Amino acid sequence: MICRALQNKVIEAEIISGSHVGSRVFIPRMTLSPSDSNLPFILNRRQFPIRVAFSLTINKAQGQTLSRVGLYLPQPVFSHGQLYVALSRITSYQNIKVLIDNGCVKSQKGWTRNVVYKEVFA
């Protein structure tokens, strides 16, 4: 999901994978209470039922090792070696997901261009 709006009582998000791709969803804030609390008072907290994830640009990821990577490509990469850097950050290829949005190369869906300048290797 991509967070599109963060408000006091609701998060507006867009689903980017699965059977509901492109759908807008609203995630409300919920009151949560522990069921097995040994506290002398009632503990209530209001929070969004979400798991936080972090994002960074491909350039910022260079030199880091990550356990899981989701790569969102709304358009083809635009500089030399960028796709290699993005795909080589992961420790295991089972833990990478790539979403190519509107990507077509050679009239085949699901492809993106890997930009390589051969002059760099000369």
Residue 107 structural domain: 54-122
Any domain includes 20 = yes
pTM exceeds 0.95, yes or no: no
Any domain includes 103 = yes
Any domain includes 73 = yes
- Give, rounded to a whole angstrom, the gap between the first and last alpha carbons of the chain: 42
> pLDDT: is 120 or 106 the higher one?
120
The per-residue pLDDT for 7 is: 93
Question: What does the angle CA 4 – CA 70 – CA 8 come to, to the nearest 5 degrees?
Answer: 25
- Total tally of structural domains belonging to the chain: 2
Average pLDDT over the chain reads: 81
pLDDT at 49 over 80: yes
Both 26 and 59 in one domain: the answer is: no
pLDDT at 88 over 90: no
Both 60 and 118 in one domain: the answer is: yes
Which segment of 37-46, 49-58, 70-79, 102-111 scores lowest on mean pLDDT? Answer: 102-111
Both 22 and 59 in one domain: the answer is: no
Both 102 and 64 in one domain: the answer is: yes
Question: What does the angle CA 93 – CA 21 – CA 66 come to, to the nearest 5 degrees?
Answer: 25
